[in-house]
Amino acid sequence: MWAGAILLRLYFELIGLHARLAPCLVPFTTTSNNQIPAIDVLLAWWSGPTLGAERFEHMTRYRRDPLLPRLLGLPRFPSPDTLRRCFSSFTYRRTTEVSEALMRVSLACVNFSRAP
| Three-state secondary structure of the chain | CHHHHHHHHHHHHHHCHHHHHHHHHHHHCCCCCCCCCHHHHHHHHHHHHHHCCCCHHHHHHHHCCCCHHHHHCCCCCCCHHHHHHHHHCCCHHHHHHHHHHHHHHHHHHCCHHHCC
Per cent of the chain over pLDDT 90 is 3
- Residue 65 maps to a domain: yes
Provide the pLDDT for residue 72: 86
Rounded mean pLDDT, 54-83 = 87
Provide the pLDDT for residue 60: 87
Whether residue 115 has pLDDT greater than 60: no
Rounded mean pLDDT, 33-43 = 86
- Residue 90 maps to a domain: yes
pLDDT band at 1 (very low <50, low <70, confident <90, very high): low
Domain residues for 86? 2-25+36-110
Provide the pLDDT for residue 29: 67
Rounded mean pLDDT, 101-106 = 86
Structural domains in the chain (count): 1
- Residue 31 maps to a domain: no
Provide the pLDDT for residue 31: 67
- Residue 115 maps to a domain: no
- Residue 30 maps to a domain: no
- pTM here is 0.79
Whether residue 76 has pLDDT greater than 70: yes
